[in-house]
Structure 1
Amino acid sequence: MIEYLNTRDYSITQEEFVLMYDEQRELLKTEPQPDNLDPYYQHEEYISHTDNNKTFLEKIYQLVKTIGLSRKRKWLQKFVLENSKVLDVGAGTGSFVAYLRDNDFNAVGVEPSDRARKLASIKGVSLSESIDEIAKQEFDAITLWHVLEHFKDLDREITKLKERLKTGGCLFIAVPNFRSYDAKHYGEYWAAYDVPRHLWHFSRAAIQNIFNKKGFQLMDTKPMLFDSFYIALLSEHYKHGRKRWLSAIWHGLRSNLYGFRTGEYSSLVYILRKRPE
């Protein structure tokens, strides 16, 4: 591995980290990787483990999340039948599981954060702490919306996912793309690096390399167009100490235009089908 970039945890601790480039797999690895990551998640600033809707930024986040629920369901419908069994890994506060249950899917979820699971229970959604807690069964689809980058042991966790997926079933994986325009523009301040919570940073080639070897076929990719604007806004704050809205909108737009030309969007959803052994 070679040194790629020095960055820091701009959102919470200000600790410094190094991103190392794995040339063989074409991905980045955060170094060092803390033994105990819990303190980096147990903070009010970590919005995906809350349903906060007070500040303007929180309202935008919750609005985008709500809009995204319908889009994610449509992606599922294209590849799996309604009433199929779906496992949402890293379910957060349970919004997607609840939405699927209300819209003709048999959905369950996994979420390691006790705080997030308690918020999910208010919605009437009981989430398991880990995949190992779920009764042995195979799913038609498994979804990971910005979760893969958090796995400490990437190989082991992907193997677990494969074991729980039916042959012909689909993985839906959303991750940031460090080859995007906004990643290049903001450099060390790019909010989607989010070290050390994000332990891995993927390119399109990395996803192909990793999952092809694990017995998956890439079926499709989808852009997450809102991500570029939200990430740009946070990146502006990290770089300049304030949320420069016009600049964020401009660079979010440029990122999506760059993605339209090259396929290198700020965040991408990869739809991968499990091949027969």
Structure 2
Amino acid sequence: MSASLVNYKNCPFCNNAAIHPVLAAKDHTVSHESFEIWHCDDCSNRFTQAVPDLMHIGPYYQSTEYISHSDTAKGFINRLYHWVRSYTLGTKRRLIQRVTGIERGALLDIGAGTGAFVTTMLQAGWKVTGLEPDSIARENAKNKHGIELRSADDIYSLPPTSFDVITLWHVLEHVHDLHGYFRQFKALLKPGGKLVIAVPNYTSKDAAAYGRHWAAWDVPRHLYHFSPAGMQQLAHLEGFSIQSMHPMWFDAFYVSMLSEQYKNGKPNLAGALLKGLSSNLAAIGDKRRCSSLIYVLSLV
């Protein structure tokens, strides 16, 4: 096996040795390679095995179809993504103000993409620092929004206790240095600060419906796959507690649309809407079953 691949003998979350493969998923975006996803019997989180290391993962993000970096509006699904994003940016802003209890403060957004959320919070009067690892995305942010995002490596050199809130919108699943990032979260947050993490939920009903074709596996870019119980254990291990969980209702429909295409080789809007609706209905009674969840964490 190549030295550039990360192979785990123990769970990357809790270090338990009780790990085993559960399925193989395909990279539908770039390489069309297959990657194994493994499960930890202790913490219940999952992870992608034999992923490229940090120095070699870059090519797997280089696609005009990868919307977080290109901001493309090509195709129906991406146009729908943009329409939904214009709505959810406002809901994210209001959530941040609600959970922090402040109207304007200092925010660190990690994995800022092309800067849409950073721009929203700047316009609301917040002092915002945005970090983004991809140079193309940073250039798109500058051209589209006129903002200067910093390299993701800057997380290790930011001044301590500087931020009221740190946000990662579908980013933590991409981070190679998982525990190093959590150490930085603790160092960078002000007393009483909040850590807001949004990630897909592999225990959702839409994940069960699509199995290995579920689009939110997104291997090998998604290194980790979270369950609510697993996120709770990870937070505890890192010195945080989960204060609240918030459903991301639109994700079930967006992920189902992509999953239909991956499974059948063509779009199936009706099928995607039905499965997305079914997933959300199951989550109304138990939000821990929502396709994606926002976790609000506080330091213990």
Task: Report TM bin, short chain.
Answer: over 0.9
Aligned amino acid, residue 127 of structure 1: L
Kindly indicate whether residue 51 of structure 2 is the aligned counterpart of residue 29 of structure 1: no
Kindly indicate whether residue 21 of structure 2 is the aligned counterpart of residue 3 of structure 1: yes
SS in 1 for 2:244: strand
SS in 2 for 1:43: coil
Identify the residue that residue 138 of structure 2 maps to in structure 1.
117
Q: For the residues of structure 1 that align with 2:263 and 2:188, how far apart are their CA atoms? A: 42
Q: 1:9 to 1:54 in 2, by over 3 A?
A: closer
Aligned amino acid, residue 210 of structure 1: L
Identify the residue that residue 267 of structure 1 maps to in structure 2.
292
Pairwise mapping of residues 136-147 of structure 1 onto structure 2 (< 5 A)?
136-147=160-171
Q: For the residues of structure 2 that align with 1:102 and 1:160, how far apart are their CA atoms? A: 26
Pairwise mapping of residues 42-121 of structure 1 onto structure 2 (< 5 A)?
42-80=62-100, 81-121=102-142
Residue 135 of structure 1 and its aligned partner are, at CA, apart by 4.6
Q: For the residues of structure 2 that align with 1:30 and 1:128, how far apart are their CA atoms? A: 28
Aligned amino acid, residue 71 of structure 2: D
- Identity within the alignment, %: 41
Identify the residue that residue 127 of structure 1 maps to in structure 2.
149
Determine if contact 2:161/2:187 at 8 Å carries over to the other structure. no
SS in 2 for 1:198: coil
Q: For the residues of structure 2 that align with 1:171 and 1:226, how far apart are their CA atoms? A: 22
Q: For the residues of structure 2 that align with 1:67 and 1:100, how far apart are their CA atoms? A: 14
Greater Cα shift, 131-140 or 50-59: 131-140
Q: For the residues of structure 1 that align with 2:209 and 2:249, how far apart are their CA atoms? A: 17
Pairwise mapping of residues 134-173 of structure 1 onto structure 2 (< 5 A)?
134-173=158-197
Aligned amino acid, residue 150 of structure 2: S
**Shift >4 Å, 4+ stretches:** none
SS in 2 for 1:77: helix
Q: Output the aligned Cα RMSD.
A: 1.2
Residue 61 of structure 1 and its aligned partner are, at CA, apart by 1.0
Residue 214 of structure 1 and its aligned partner are, at CA, apart by 1.4
Residue 11 of structure 1 and its aligned partner are, at CA, apart by 2.2
Determine if contact 2:242/2:298 at 8 Å carries over to the other structure. yes
Q: For the residues of structure 1 that align with 2:263 and 2:76, how far apart are their CA atoms? A: 20
Cα distance per residue 1:72-101 (max 9 Å; x no partner): 011111122122100000000011111101
Q: For the residues of structure 1 that align with 2:298 and 2:208, how far apart are their CA atoms? A: 31
Q: For the residues of structure 1 that align with 2:31 and 2:62, how far apart are their CA atoms? A: 12
Kindly indicate whether residue 205 of structure 2 is the aligned counterpart of residue 184 of structure 1: no
Aligned amino acid, residue 222 of structure 2: H
Residue 132 of structure 1 and its aligned partner are, at CA, apart by 2.9
Determine if contact 2:196/2:297 at 8 Å carries over to the other structure. yes
Identify the residue that residue 237 of structure 1 maps to in structure 2.
261
Aligned amino acid, residue 10 of structure 1: H
Cα distance per residue 1:157-176 (max 9 Å; x no partner): 11112211112110110000
SS in 1 for 2:52: coil
Cα distance per residue 1:226-274 (max 9 Å; x no partner): 0000000000000000010000000000000111122210000000112
Q: For the residues of structure 2 that align with 1:113 and 1:133, how far apart are their CA atoms? A: 18
Aligned amino acid, residue 129 of structure 1: S
SS in 1 for 2:51: coil
Cα distance per residue 1:115-153 (max 9 Å; x no partner): 000011121211110213545552000000000000112
Q: For the residues of structure 1 that align with 2:182 and 2:41, how far apart are their CA atoms? A: 20
Aligned amino acid, residue 106 of structure 2: K
Q: For the residues of structure 2 that align with 1:155 and 1:65, how far apart are their CA atoms? A: 29
Identify the residue that residue 15 of structure 1 maps to in structure 2.
33
Aligned amino acid, residue 293 of structure 2: L
Where does the alignment leave 5 or more consecutive residues of structure 2 unmatched? 1-18
Where does the alignment leave 5 or more consecutive residues of structure 1 unmatched? none
Kindly indicate whether residue 61 of structure 2 is the aligned counterpart of residue 41 of structure 1: yes
